[in-house]
Amino acid sequence: MIADVVIAGAGPNGLMLACELSLAGVRPLVLERLPERTEESRANGLAGQVVRMLDRRGLYERLTGNQDPPRPAPGFVFGALPIDLSALDDNPLYVLLAPQRRIEQMLEERAVELQVEIRRGHELTGFTHDADRVTLQVSGPAGPYTIETRYLVGADGGHSIVRKLAGIAFPGVTTDKTISRVAHAVVPAELVDPATGALDIPGYGPIPPFLHHRTERGLFVYAPLPDGPAPLISTMEWNAQDAEGPLTLEELRASARRVLGVDLAFGPPDGHGPHLLRKLNGGNTRLAGRFRDGRVLLVGDAAHVHSAIGGPGLNLGLQDAVNLGWKLAAEVRGTAPAGLLDTYESERRPVAERVVLSSRAQSALIAPGSEVTGLRALFTELLDDPHNVRHIADLMSGADIRYDVAVDHPLAGRWAPDLNLKNGTRLAELTRDGHPHLIDFTGGDWGYPATAGLPGHPAPCTALLLRPDGYVAWATDAPQPDTESRTSLRAAIQRWLGEPNEDISS
């Protein structure tokens, strides 16, 4: 047995899983068919709970260089409709602008620090598996070789070879109605409002930056990313004819003219790049028939693909990795309670289904036609109600996730609230070790050291048990430990962590 866990794919999801496993005491081996990190532009940022999740692993500061905690976004879009989030008391929607290649670089640096071995230029070509192990066939620079591992995880994207070789179905819908075009391009400086960053197009008017802008003919986006070589200009059209060959700026300009009804001047960026010129015909919405087949598991796009509108992809995939990491590590170490690894699929599949629902609803709202314009007018009225805004914000951020932890408390099964603790630390600093924590707000009466308290206002409960992935496994409002609360705490520890011990608060 060469490795306890082999991860196929060194994209963000595979690297995040590798870091989580290493924090939990298991050193995985990562195989990546590409000889080096791709310079191709893909995702351009993160949106949702994933931003706070990175903060709780100390990775937000690495990515941004900012020591302050992340702040929620004052606004966002749903189906190209602007959403004002500033009135929400506890706005759950966080946004972090960063190109995917920078996210991958940061995660690889962290994985190397954690002594993860990453083999680039090594491609998984086949495997067999039984009740005890998975035997992999790998093609490397020096030729083919074999690896035996206890578990194989496919983090190898929507065309996952792991999923295909495992015989896991990938049902869903493929559409060919849309053509998306995106490129780095430079617009004349006089068209950009220096105060708002909006693109003021002659004959059309201002278009805010970063937000999807829908007309009855298509979709237009202007995104002046801070770390990019030039702003991104993107269009989407329905039932349009596709020019043969790779995308050109001339083709993108013609597309923008059809969508907006006016000409927009833009040209190529300076320098050698890499500069993005990408065209995508149609799209896929698919969900794997199962996320696990014995000792083979799937994360991220290998398990689900959907529209990128609203930026849900990395929010979903990276949190798959964080959910799976501690559970798989416990299974490898032999400390996992019965059925723990099965909860990976039972918890994450419903979340993927919610993302598919959201992306389909948004795709319907951006479609062309006067009927959709009427629907958007009605939806705009609904978004004047703060309760509806909260519902959409929770859906898009993932804040509406509530796992079944069999504990009757409002916090149980939910993402733990961000807390400033009385010992001068934040909850996000406490959780950077990837361990479970019993947080006691009573001063130690729960039989463990008092980990923390809340200064100046009431705590959300008297004590809570935090899983390694940041979700609350147990909470109580009992002012002092009693037989019922102690029994429920012990049951929660046994269910998620194994037999209790005196070190759970560390």
Same domain? For 295 and 307 the reply is yes
Same domain? For 116 and 265 the reply is no
pLDDT at residue 60 greater than cutoff 80: yes
pLDDT at residue 505 greater than cutoff 60: no
pLDDT at 446: 59
Query: How are beta strands 205-207 and 463-466 bridged, if at all?
Result: unpaired
Residue 89 CB neighbours (<10 A) = 6
Same domain? For 17 and 142 the reply is yes
pLDDT at residue 449 greater than cutoff 60: no
Structural domain count, the chain: 3
- The region that residue 276 occupies, defined by phi over 0 for left and psi between -120 and 50 for alpha, beta otherwise, is beta
Q: Is residue 103 part of a domain?
A: yes
pLDDT at 283: 82
Same domain? For 183 and 93 the reply is no
Q: Is residue 407 part of a domain?
A: no
Q: Is residue 60 part of a domain?
A: yes
Same domain? For 129 and 204 the reply is no
pLDDT tens column, 330-351:
999 999 999 999 999 999 999 9
Same domain? For 271 and 384 the reply is no
Q: Is residue 406 part of a domain?
A: no
pLDDT at 241: 78
pLDDT at 351: 95
pLDDT at 503: 46
- The region that residue 248 occupies, defined by phi over 0 for left and psi between -120 and 50 for alpha, beta otherwise, is beta
Residue type, 402: R
**Between these two residues, 229 and 330, which has the higher pLDDT value?**
330
Segment 112-124 mean pLDDT? 97
Same domain? For 17 and 151 the reply is yes
CATH of the domain at 180: 3.30.70.2450
**Terminal Cα distance for the chain, rounded:** 32
Q: Is residue 85 part of a domain?
A: yes
Q: Is residue 504 part of a domain?
A: no
pLDDT at 443: 66
pLDDT at 444: 58
pLDDT band of 178, cuts 50, 70, 90: confident
pLDDT at residue 273 greater than cutoff 80: no
pLDDT at residue 455 greater than cutoff 60: no
pLDDT tens column, 303-336:
999 887 777 778 899 999 999 999 999 999 999 9
Beta bridge pairs of residue 215: 218
Q: What CA–CA distance (Å, rounded) separates 460 from 246?
A: 55
Query: DSSP assignment of 214-243, as one string?
Result: EETTEEEEEE--TTSSS-EEEEEEESPPPP
Least confident of 34-38, 126-130, 378-382: 34-38
pLDDT at residue 265 greater than cutoff 70: yes
Same domain? For 296 and 441 the reply is no
Q: Name every residue whose Cβ is closer than 8 Å to that of residue 364 and which is 6 or more positions away in sequence.
A: 79, 372, 375
Same domain? For 17 and 118 the reply is yes
Cis peptide before 274 (omega within 30 of 0): yes
Q: Share the mean pLDDT of the chain.
A: 90
Q: Which helix H or strand E contains 129, and what residues bound it? A: strand 123-129
Last residue of one domain, picked from the residues 268, 283, 298: 283
Last residue of one domain, picked from the residues 240, 258, 283: 283
pLDDT at residue 368 greater than cutoff 90: no
Segment 286-294 mean pLDDT? 96
Q: Is residue 404 part of a domain?
A: no
pLDDT at 1: 61
Task: Give yes or no for a contact between 304 and 288, defined as CB atoms under 8 angstroms apart.
Answer: yes
Task: Give yes or no for a contact between 4 and 297, defined as CB atoms under 8 angstroms apart.
Answer: no
**Between these two residues, 276 and 165, which has the higher pLDDT value?**
165
The alpha-helical segments, DSSP class H, found in 24-77 are: 49-55, 59-64
**Between these two residues, 359 and 26, which has the higher pLDDT value?**
26
Q: Is residue 361 part of a domain?
A: yes
The alpha-helical segments, DSSP class H, found in 39-117 are: 49-55, 59-64, 100-113
Last residue of one domain, picked from the residues 283, 304, 319: 283
CATH of the domain at 145: 3.50.50.60
Same domain? For 159 and 297 the reply is yes
Segment 415-422 mean pLDDT? 84
Residue 54 CB neighbours (<10 A) = 26
pLDDT at 93: 94
**Between these two residues, 257 and 419, which has the higher pLDDT value?**
257
pLDDT tens column, 42-59:
677 899 999 999 999 999
pLDDT tens column, 470-486:
999 999 998 888 889 89
pLDDT at residue 445 greater than cutoff 70: no
Q: What CA–CA distance (Å, rounded) separates 447 from 194?
A: 58
Least confident of 184-188, 215-219, 239-243, 333-337: 239-243
pLDDT at 313: 76
Task: Give yes or no for a contact between 361 and 53, defined as CB atoms under 8 angstroms apart.
Answer: no
pLDDT band of 173, cuts 50, 70, 90: confident
pLDDT at residue 506 greater than cutoff 60: no
pLDDT at 87: 86
Same domain? For 324 and 448 the reply is no
Segment 209-219 mean pLDDT? 90
Cα-based distances in Å from 219 to 178, 181, 240: 10, 10, 12
pLDDT at 504: 43
Provide the token pair at 498.
């194994």
Query: What is the CA 360 to chain-centroid distance, rounded?
Result: 18
Same domain? For 127 and 28 the reply is yes
% of the chain at pLDDT higher than 70: 94
Q: Residue 473's domain spans which residues? A: 414-497
Task: Give yes or no for a contact between 116 and 30, defined as CB atoms under 8 angstroms apart.
Answer: yes
SS (H, E, C) 409-475: CCCCCCECCCCECCCCCEHHHHCCCCCCEEEECCCCCCCCCCCCCCCCCCCCCCEEEECCCCEEEEE
Task: Give yes or no for a contact between 267 and 160, defined as CB atoms under 8 angstroms apart.
Answer: no
pLDDT at 242: 80
CATH of the domain at 467: 3.40.30.120
